[in-house]
Chains A and B, each alone.
Chain A
Amino acid sequence: MEKNNFWSPYIAGIGLGLTLLATFYIAGWGLGASSAFSLLTGVGIKDISPEYASSLKYFSQYLNVESPLMNWVLFEVGGLFIGALAGALLSGNFRLRFDKGEKMSPVTRGMTAFTGGIIIGFSSRLARGCTSGVALSGGAQMAVAGWIFVIAMFVSGFIAAAFLRRLWS
Chain B
Amino acid sequence: MTAPLVFSQNASLLIAVILGIFFGMFLERGGLGNPHKLTGVFYLADFTVPKVMFTAILVAAFGLYLLSDLKLLDMERVWIVPTFFWPQIAGGALFGIGFLISGYCPGTAVAGFASGRLDALVTMIGIGAGSLLFAVLYPFVEGFYVSSGMGGATLPKIIGISHWFVIAFLVVFAAGMFYFMEWFERRGREQS
- As a 0/1 sequence over residues 1 to 39 of chain B, the CB contacts with chain A under 8 angstroms (1 = contact) are 001110001001111111111111111111111111101
- Contact check, B100 vs A25: say whether CB atoms are below 8 A apart: no
Interface of A is mostly: helix
Which of B30, B80, B139 is A12 in contact with, Cβ under 8 Å? B30
* Chain A residues bordering chain B, tally (CB within 8 A): 123
Minimal beta-carbon separation of B63 from chain A (angstroms): 4
Please report which residues of chain A, range 27-78, place their CB below 8 angstroms from some CB of chain B when the two chains form the complex: 27-31, 33-34, 36-38, 40-42, 44-45, 56-59, 70, 72-73, 75-78
Select from chain B the residue with minimum beta-carbon distance to A132: B107
Interface of B is mostly: helix
Minimal beta-carbon separation of B106 from chain A (angstroms): 4
Select from chain B the residue with minimum beta-carbon distance to A87: B28
- As a 0/1 sequence over residues 94 to 138 of chain A, the CB contacts with chain B under 8 angstroms (1 = contact) are 111111100000000110111111111111111111111111111
- As a 0/1 sequence over residues 89 to 130 of chain B, the CB contacts with chain A under 8 angstroms (1 = contact) are 111111111111111111111111111111110111111111
Select from chain A the residue with minimum beta-carbon distance to B24: A83
The answer to whether B172 has its CB under 8 Å from any CB of chain A is: no
Which of B81, B113, B134, B139 is A122 in contact with, Cβ under 8 Å? B134
Query: Looking at chain B, what size class is its interface with the partner chain?
Result: 35 or more
Select from chain B the residue with minimum beta-carbon distance to A36: B106
Provided the pairs A72-B13, A117-B98 are in contact, do residues A136 and B53 lie with their beta carbons within 8 angstroms? yes
- Contact check, A160 vs B128: say whether CB atoms are below 8 A apart: no
- Contact check, B39 vs A128: say whether CB atoms are below 8 A apart: no
Provided the pairs A84-B24, A117-B130, A141-B61 are in contact, do residues A9 and B98 lie with their beta carbons within 8 angstroms? no
- Please indicate the chain B residues that have their CB under 8 angstroms from the CB of A45 in the complex: 132
Provided the pairs A80-B24, A109-B119 are in contact, do residues A24 and B64 lie with their beta carbons within 8 angstroms? yes
Per the bound structure, the CA–CA distance linking A89 and B2 in Å amounts to 38
- Contact check, B101 vs A112: say whether CB atoms are below 8 A apart: yes
- Contact check, A154 vs B102: say whether CB atoms are below 8 A apart: no
Per the bound structure, the CA–CA distance linking A142 and B11 in Å amounts to 29
Give me the 8 closest cross-chain CB pairs, A-B, nearest first: A117-B126, A121-B130, A79-B20, A116-B102, A13-B55, A127-B91, A17-B59, A12-B30
Residues on A facing B (Cβ under 8 Å):
2, 4, 6-7, 9-31, 33-34, 36-38, 40-42, 44-45, 56-59, 70, 72-73, 75-88, 91, 93-100, 109-110, 112-158, 160-161, 164-165, 167-169
